[in-house]
C-alpha cells in the first residue's frame, strides 16, 4: 500500500499503488518518495494553504469601513484598532442629538482637526438635524427609550451612507464607551446591517477605554462633560450638584 499525506505531513488513509499512479498522472498528488512510495495530495495541500492564509490575515484586510464618530476622544483608539484589524477606515459625522448647536460645532471641529492629524478621510453630511432627533425621541424621553432611538437614528444614517457609497462594513465609536449600552448598540447595528445589506463590524472597543483617555490628553482633544442631548446635560448637572 502507498502512504498518503496531506500538506502538513499528516498521514491519511493509505491507497493502492494503482490509485496513487492515477492521482500522480492526473496532477492531483505529488510524489514524496518512490521507495517506499509516499504521495502528498495536491487538493488537500491547496485547501490547507488557503485556510492558513485566511487565518493569518487580519479580518478587515482589503475592506473599507465607514465609522460613525461620536466625538474626537472616542475616535482615537477606535480608529487605531480598526486600522490594526486591516480596515481602510473613513469617518462619518452624524450626531443630531448633540445640543446645543455650539456644543455640536465644538465636537465637530475637534474630530475634524484630529482626522487631519491622523489622515482619516471624513464624510460630512450637510446641516444640523436637531429637529430629526427631537421628533424621534418625542414622547420617549426616559433614558432607556431615548438612547435606543438615538442609537438607531445615528447608526441608521451610517448604514444608509455606507450602502450608498459602497463600503464593505460600518461601525461606531459608541462601542468604546462604558457609559453606552454596547449590547443594544450591537443588536441595532446588526439589525440595520440585515436591512441595508452592509456588514456591521462589532469589536469590543471598550478594551481601549484607558488608551482613549491617554490619546485624548496627548492630542489635547476637547473632552465633553455630558453624553450629548439636552436631557443628558441636565442629568449630568444634577449628578454633579448631588455630589
Ligand atoms: S444620553 Fe446620549 S445616547 Fe442617550 S439620547 Fe442622549 S445623546 Fe443619545
What pLDDT, on the 0 to 100 scale, is given for residue 170?
98
Domain coordinates in residue numbering, the chain: 3-56, 64-242
Rounded CA gap, 234 and 229, in Å? 9
In short, whether 99's Cβ falls inside 6 Å of ligand 1 is no
Cell for 205? Answer: 472597543
What pLDDT, on the 0 to 100 scale, is given for residue 205?
98
Is 80 exceeded by the pLDDT of residue 55?
A: no
Are the beta carbons of 133 and 97 closer than 8 angstroms?
yes
What pLDDT, on the 0 to 100 scale, is given for residue 46?
59
Spell out where the chain has E strands: 3-5, 29-33, 38-41, 64-68, 88-92, 122-123, 169-172, 199-200
Rounded CA gap, 99 and 30, in Å? 69
| CATH among 3.40.630.30, 3.10.50.40, 2.40.30.10, 3.40.50.620 for 64-242 | 3.40.50.620
pLDDT bucket at 75, cuts 50 / 70 / 90: very high
What is the pairing mode between strands 29-33 and 38-41? Answer: antiparallel
pLDDT bucket at 48, cuts 50 / 70 / 90: low
Is 90 exceeded by the pLDDT of residue 7?
A: no
- What digits encode the pLDDT tens for the residues 88-100? 999 999 999 999 9
What pLDDT, on the 0 to 100 scale, is given for residue 42?
77
In short, whether 221's Cβ falls inside 6 Å of ligand 1 is no
Q: What is the mean pLDDT of residues 112-124?
A: 98
Most confident stretch, 4-8, 48-52, 131-135: 131-135
Comparing CA positions, the residue from 69, 63, 88, 100 lying closest to residue 175 is 69
In short, whether 208's Cβ falls inside 6 Å of ligand 1 is no
In short, whether 97's Cβ falls inside 6 Å of ligand 1 is yes
Ligand 1 centroid–CA 30 distance in Å is 63
Is 90 exceeded by the pLDDT of residue 111?
A: yes
In short, whether 154's Cβ falls inside 6 Å of ligand 1 is no
Return the residue whose CA atom lies nearest to atom 2 of ligand 1.
227
Return the residue whose CA atom lies nearest to atom 3 of ligand 1.
147
Is 90 exceeded by the pLDDT of residue 222?
A: yes
Is 70 exceeded by the pLDDT of residue 8?
A: no
Count of helix runs (H) and strand runs (E) in the chain:
9, 8
Residue 128: phi, psi to the nearest 5?
Answer: -130, 110
- What digits encode the pLDDT tens for the residues 136-195? 999 999 999 999 999 999 999 999 999 999 999 999 999 999 999 999 999 999 999 999
Rounded CA gap, 8 and 48, in Å? 8
Element (H, E) at 184: helix 182-196
Amino acid at each position: 500500500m502507498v502512504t498518503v499525506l496531506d500538506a502538513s505531513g499528516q498521514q491519511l488513509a493509505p491507497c493502492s499503488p494503482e490509485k496513487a499512479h492515477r492521482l500522480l498522472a492526473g496532477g492531483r498528488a505529488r510524489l514524496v518518495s518512490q521507495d517506499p512510495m509516499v504521495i502528498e495530495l495536491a487538493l488537500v495541500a491547496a485547501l490547507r494553504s488557503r485556510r492558513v492564509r485566511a487565518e493569518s490575515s487580519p479580518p478587515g484586510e482589503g475592506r473599507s469601513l465607514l465609522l460613525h464618530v461620536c466625538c474626537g476622544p472616542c475616535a482615537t483608539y477606535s480608529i487605531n484598532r480598526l486600522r490594526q484589524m486591516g480596515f481602510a477606515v473613513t469617518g462619518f459625522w452624524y450626531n443630531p442629538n448633540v445640543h446645543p448647536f455650539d456644543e455640536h460645532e465644538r465636537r465637530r471641529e475637534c474630530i475634524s482637526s484630529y482626522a487631519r492629524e491622523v489622515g482619516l478621510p471624513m464624510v460630512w453630511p450637510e446641516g444640523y438635524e436637531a429637529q430629526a432627533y427631537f421628533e424621534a425621541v418625542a414622547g420617549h424621553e426616559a433614558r432607556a427609550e431615548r438612547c435606543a432611538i438615538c442609537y438607531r437614528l445615528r447608526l441608521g444614517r451610517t448604514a444608509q451612507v455606507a450602502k450608498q457609497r459602497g463600503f464593505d462594513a460600518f461601525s461606531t465609536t459608541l462601542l468604546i464607551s462604558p457609559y453606552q449600552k454596547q449590547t443594544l448598540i450591537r443588536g441595532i447595528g446588526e439589525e440595520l446591517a440585515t436591512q441595508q445589506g452592509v456588514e456591521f463590524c462589532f469589536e469590543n472597543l471598550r478594551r481601549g477605554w484607558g488608551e482613549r483617555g491617554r490619546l485624548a490628553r496627548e492630542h489635547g482633544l476637547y473632552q465633553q462633560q455630558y453624553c450629548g442631548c439636552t436631557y443628558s446635560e441636565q442629568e449630568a448637572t444634577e449628578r454633579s450638584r448631588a455630589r
